């Protein structure tokens, strides 16, 4: 166990967003605005998908880390605290994903 959490990453992103864009990738992404940052998240997600479908375990771990980091940057730009996402996930624990999907189909 690394002991490192998404909350730690959120704090780092929050802090580094204030740095100069010359010395921080985070600050550069934030300064570039949401369309660019979201596009980067999409690219990293596609790289993770490719690693998954090719059973490239090591690369999937690497790309998943890229996805989580870039998602944290996108959430930061959107001013959505990680806590809001965790609250939504917690709400979903009340129901199975399959049941939730079926309830949407019936509505």
Q: Which three-class secondary structure string do you get for the chain?
A: CCCCCHHHHHHHHHHHCCCCCCCCHHHHHHHHCHHHHHHHHHHHHHHHHHHHHCCCHHHHHHHHHHHHHHHHHHHHHCCCCHHHHHHHHHHHCCCCHHHHHHHHHHC
| Residue among 57 and 99 whose Cβ is closer to ligand PRT | 57
The closest residue (CB) to ligand PRT is: 26
Rule CB under 6 A: choose which of 6, 10, 12, 45 binds ligand PRT. Answer: 12
| Residue among 51 and 87 whose Cβ is closer to ligand PRT | 51
User: Which span (24-32, 52-60, 86-94, 97-105) binds ligand PRT, by CB under 6 A?
Assistant: 24-32
Q: Establish if 59 lies at the interface with ligand PRT (CB under 6 A).
A: no
Binding site residues, ligand PRT, CB under 6 A: 12, 16, 24-27, 66, 69
């Amino acid at each position: 166990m690394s002991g490192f959490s998404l909350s730690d990453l959120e704090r780092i992103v929050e802090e580094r967003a204030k740095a100069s864009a010359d010395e921080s990738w985070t600050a550069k992404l934030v300064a570039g605005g949401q369309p660019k940052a979201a596009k980067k998240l999409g690219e990293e997600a596609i790289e993770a998908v490719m690693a998954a479908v090719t059973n490239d375990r090591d690369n999937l771990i690497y790309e998943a880390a890229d996805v989580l980091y870039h998602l944290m940057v996108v959430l930061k730009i959107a001013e959505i605290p990680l806590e809001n996402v965790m609250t939504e996930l917690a709400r979903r624990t009340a129901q199975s994903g399959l049941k939730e999907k079926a309830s949407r189909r019936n509505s």
